[in-house]
Amino acid sequence: MSDVGVAVVVEDDADMRNLLEGVLVQAGFEVHAAADGRAGVEVVRDRQPCLVTLDVGMPDIDGFEVLRRIRRFSDAYILMLTGRTAESDVLTALQAGADDYITKPFRPREVRARIAAMLRRPRFQRSAGASATAGPQLPATASERPAPVLQHNGLVLDPRMRTVDVGGVGLELTRSEFDLLYELLRSSGGVRSRRQLVETLRGGPTLDGSYISESDERAVEVHIGNLRRKLGDDPQSPRWLQTVRGVGYCLARKRPGNT
């Protein structure tokens, strides 16, 4: 990574803040930092970064509340950093709008790998309440072609525009929800394990040795649950998302009269 944009580090521990700043500078970011939550929100508002690293335990307002405030005006990638190992904390972060999380202590190499995975994921999506900003993108190759629009039982997903319509009504999805739905649609009914879907959210197979935990797989379940809620899909009689017990997920069968 080089010259990838602006990053903001929100971290109250000076040693950890300096470590993260060093990792991000080496990765090519212009880095700004804040030592508490309220200051972090203002730095993000002022600098409009493409990436934010955010500690959960802050001296004024906790990282979850900082995350919620940032999500009101920013579509930046947000990487949560926490010393808490409870699964509920991880799930709270993802539900509040975090793109990924890392538990402390961590290796700088893992931080860079997680960030690289996020940057491989397109950032543009249609939003009803705010305009999305274009973020760092990998250069396109001459052999690339626009991905086709995908349809299933009245749902229409456009990968290029990052939009999803159901019956002509647009849905507002998070990046993670969109990426999981796209992966299942383009799998054409094939089953995707929870581990494979974790790798989807990380931008590809975890060849860097990153560990996939039960919490990672549980996070996929949370995203699928949020997707079902937004789609109005009944898990007992699914129209789109079918659970394959003990394995993962696939598309529900096509219904007569639907594409």
Q: Kindly report, residue by residue over 239-256, the tens digit of the pLDDT.
A: 999 999 999 999 999 888
Q: Is 213 within 8 Å of 206 (Cβ atoms)?
A: no
Q: How many domains does the chain have?
A: 2
Report which residue type is found at 157.
L
Choose the weakest-confidence range: 11-15, 55-59, 216-220.
216-220
So what's the pLDDT on residue 124? 46
Q: Is residue 22 part of a domain?
A: yes
pLDDT of residue 79 exceeding 60: yes
* In a shared domain, residues 14 and 115: yes
pLDDT digits (tens, 9 = 90+) for 162-208: 899 998 899 988 888 899 999 999 998 899 999 999 888 877 665 44
* In a shared domain, residues 56 and 114: yes
DSSP letters of 128-148? SSS-------PPPPTT--PPP
* In a shared domain, residues 113 and 207: no
Two tokens, residue 221: 């379940």
Q: Is 50 within 8 Å of 25 (Cβ atoms)?
A: no
* In a shared domain, residues 161 and 98: no
Q: Is residue 109 part of a domain?
A: yes
Q: Is residue 199 part of a domain?
A: yes
Containing structural domain, residue 104: 5-119
Cβ neighbours of residue 245 under 8 Å, at least 6 residues apart? none
Q: Would you say the C-alpha torsion 113, 117, 120, 122 has a positive or negative sign?
A: negative
DSSP letters of 196-219? HHHHHHTTS--TT-----HHHHHH
